[in-house]
Structure 1
């Protein structure tokens, strides 16, 4: 049997596992660290499993009481799962199908289909922007004016936060309200999607594409990094991105196991569907990518291994875990550098093409891989040495920027 001490000691692994309590109650521990109460039972000889809730929001005592309730239902010939569904429907009907409940029902239908990041992003905007305005309103009464108010409030909130002008967030909020409305149409709650009239309401600002670094910025980059007062791991990560042409996400999620010192390669593997849903994608596109290591990048990686021997990541954050999403760009801002990490890739691409390197090598090194999987696999083997020579030339070029 479980107790709170045993539960707290349960640590996540790479796969979902369950620990039994008694009477069909068990605790499911997911790779993300979430712990969920589940009730296993048989109804009409068919095995079933029902989710009770998440620990510690649902305590052990509460989960056991719920299990007892389910067992009484079974004793009376009632399927607990069907009973819960019927109760949920009654609740929705009792609340006239208010928007927040329909949204919750819609989100429930996506369990196991979408990533944790997908749920986190939507739930955040529902709580901050949508529910305060229309959450308690019957969904069939929500009209285009209501949604316009939500969008206006969202953009105003973003502008006040200083994190942009809000158009991108506003369009996303309209999109997620539309997802709920589409679900409401499918489930016969409404017949018209009121977000449709607002599809052209928000105009996106002109996209500013990453630009190559100026000559002054090239000369100043490494000298500024040399006097960076923050983590060595952060400054080394920026240098590694400069030498390797990798994206920030690929630098941040790079693990020591990806490095082969003998072959002088950094191989980023594709991940499973389960890992993608858990938000563990290694690259923007989920495919294998091989980076030949220049002498300069190899020395940086060796230094990182020595400085952070206990971390699984090549460039860990302060706690030894994955470096934060905004850490690298924030570091550039703190150094009074007026470009983002993506500009490093734009610079490499521009200069390599100007110096006559094969465009296919450049595109492959940027991980702009052909949609033809057979051709992409062939290119990895065919052009590895060519890209190795290109990246060594590039590293030597970068080292001459400040001279």
Structure 2
């Protein structure tokens, strides 16, 4: 029988050899000096051998215990080698069935058809809120109680940070878990989605509709813009949002190729279905939108083209080759002492003021990209009433400047 002292004295030779312990356990000494525990046995009259592990990582005591386990398997008619292979397969399968494995597989599956922003959002909340609870759990064992635990923890984290009730982000987190579970169903890992029962668990906060901005606040904003520490691109983007009635997404994503200086038109085109499927769009709704350019906007756009000649975007971000950040404009407004004002409020302001000035309601709604009616008619609406809208946009820009 072996002991640790005897084992340490065993030296390699120019040929591999084995030294027996007992009950079929032996130590294999290889020419490299490695010492490997092996169990020799017969099953169905066939001599076989199974590897237990390397010494000293696998101790003598553990090797003997494993030998006893294998002998018990033989008594039950089980082949230890086959049993070990099955254990390995089961371990691999178990890993492939965990929530984290399925989630990462799902993101890989989607990354070619989704935007970088979509992936970034999921890569943010999966490790922050979801993996701490679900990562190592096989998806088939996850229940609605697990989902609720994730949501409760996320709400507590968000509320503790002082960033609101957490209901909006909580619903997003539930949606991400739902996406993974739906993918698990699609890949035949589970049959039911445990997130379904939590659909109404978090009440959605009341939608905060845009409110017209007081003339005094617009005047304060326009006066503060020149002294802002923001880049000239951000300053001009803010002024453009007021003058054009465009949404933040439309300001941020617009490219220089959209501008026709000769005809004084800014045309935001619709995107292809492939781009739409990938999460790339120029507008809230995928349609063509035409903005007649006032004198003020012509000046701003010419300045942007001169300041950032190498950028594809009209209003580039910090590295000049990317668009302005998603929250940059609203955060800049807050930094100017107007925390109650948002970019979207400028649109409500323009609508209110232009209606009071008795401009055609259809012109105003079209300029806000509030297209009504069937899709066939809507596809031609973008260039409608262009002369009247051009006059209206100049009056609006002059009206805004008059408030300074």
TM-score normalised by structure 2 residue count:
0.72
Quick one: distance in 1 between partners of 2:348 and 2:90? 56
Return closer, same or farther for 1:316/1:186 CA change in 2, 3 Å cut-off: closer
1:240 matches 2:240: yes
Match of 1:290 in 2: 290
Larger Rg: 2
Match of 2:343 among 341, 344, 367: 341
TM-score normalised by structure 1 residue count:
0.72
Q: SS of the residue aligned with 1:352?
A: helix
Matches within 5 A, 1:220-369: 220-277=220-277, 279-321=279-321, 322-338=323-339, 339-369=341-371
1:129 matches 2:139: no
Contact 1:213 1:343 in 2 (8 A): yes
Contact 1:352 1:362 in 2 (8 A): yes
Quick one: distance in 2 between partners of 1:308 and 1:192? 53
Q: SS of the residue aligned with 1:381?
A: coil
Quick one: distance in 2 between partners of 1:255 and 1:337? 28
Quick one: distance in 1 between partners of 2:197 and 2:319? 48
Quick one: distance in 1 between partners of 2:100 and 2:353? 52
Report the Cα offset of residue 363 of structure 1: 1.5
- Give the ranges of 4+ consecutive aligned residues of structure 1 lying more than 6 Å apart after TM superposition: none
Match of 1:164 in 2: 164
Quick one: distance in 1 between partners of 2:136 and 2:368? 47
Quick one: distance in 2 between partners of 1:328 and 1:302? 21
Contact 2:292 2:390 in 1 (8 A): yes
Match of 2:17 in 1: none
Q: SS of the residue aligned with 1:95?
A: helix
Q: Which runs of 5+ in 2 are unaligned?
A: 1-88
Return closer, same or farther for 1:317/1:106 CA change in 2, 3 Å cut-off: closer
Q: Which runs of 5+ in 1 are unaligned?
A: 1-88
Quick one: distance in 1 between partners of 2:92 and 2:267? 50
Return closer, same or farther for 1:169/1:376 CA change in 2, 3 Å cut-off: same
Quick one: distance in 2 between partners of 1:376 and 1:275? 21
Q: SS of the residue aligned with 1:382?
A: coil
* RMSD over equivalenced CA pairs, Å: 2.2
Report the Cα offset of residue 146 of structure 1: 1.2
Greater Cα shift, 319-328 or 96-105: 96-105
Match of 2:155 in 1: 155
Q: SS of the residue aligned with 1:173?
A: helix
Greater Cα shift, 255-264 or 271-280: 271-280
Match of 1:21 in 2: none
Q: SS of the residue aligned with 2:291?
A: strand
Quick one: distance in 2 between partners of 1:196 and 1:377? 38
Quick one: distance in 2 between partners of 1:330 and 1:103? 33
Contact 2:355 2:361 in 1 (8 A): yes
